[in-house]
């Protein structure tokens, strides 16, 4: 019994450490790419900022699927049992949303602006027993070329 609990705690610790390192590395990559692409205006407006001199338009999208690690799933299960804000899932959604928007911008690097930005989310492994949760985020919009 003690051996089983020890194995569980060791695996939980490994999950926490590896999950934290992967998340920090991903956030660093996101911040660097956001800095590179910040000059490309992206709005939810349906009309471009300047409607003259538009040469072409193109539908652009970016999608990502991000999985949650076992430690965060365990922590979320505890919080779900007792009630409260599940902040471990908030970082999952934040990373997925920002990554999807970055991929959308990378799809339209030469664009003057991106309009009509929309974001859709879905849970991939919802209601599947004994699986790690994952979220898919799709960002799409219209790239305007001048």
Sketch the domain layout of the chain as residue ranges: 2-145
The ranges of the chain with pLDDT < 70 are: 70, 125-132
Q: Whats the size of the chain, residue-wise?
A: 146
Give the C-alpha separation, 53 to 123, whole Å: 41
Q: Which pTM does this prediction carry? A: 0.82
Give the C-alpha separation, 24 to 17, whole Å: 11
pLDDT at position 98, please? 96
Residue 20 phi/psi, 5-degree rounding, is -65, -45
pLDDT at position 97, please? 96
Residues with Cβ < 8 Å from 88, sequence gap 6 or more?
68, 72, 75, 76, 79
CATH topology of domain 2-145: Translation Initiation Factor IF3 (3.30.110)
Residue 65 phi/psi, 5-degree rounding, is -120, 125
Give the C-alpha separation, 96 to 94, whole Å: 5
pLDDT at position 126, please? 61
pLDDT at position 63, please? 96
pLDDT at position 144, please? 94
Give the C-alpha separation, 95 to 136, whole Å: 11
């Amino acid at each position: 019994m003690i051996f089983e609990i020890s194995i569980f705690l060791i695996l939980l610790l490994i999950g926490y450490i590896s999950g934290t390192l992967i998340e920090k590395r991903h956030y660093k990559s996101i911040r660097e790419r956001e800095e590179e692409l910040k000059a490309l205006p992206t709005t939810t407006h349906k009309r471009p900022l300047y409607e003259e001199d538009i040469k072409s338009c193109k539908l652009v999208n970016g999608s990502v699927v991000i999985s949650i690690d076992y430690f965060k799933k365990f922590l979320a299960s505890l919080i779900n049992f007792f009630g409260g804000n599940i902040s471990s899932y908030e970082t999952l959604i934040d990373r997925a949303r920002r990554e999807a928007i970055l991929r959308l911008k990378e799809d339209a690097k030469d664009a003057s602006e991106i309009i009509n930005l929309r974001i859709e989310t879905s849970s991939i492994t919802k209601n599947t027993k004994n699986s790690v949760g994952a979220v898919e985020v799709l960002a799409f919009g219209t790239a305007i070329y001048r």
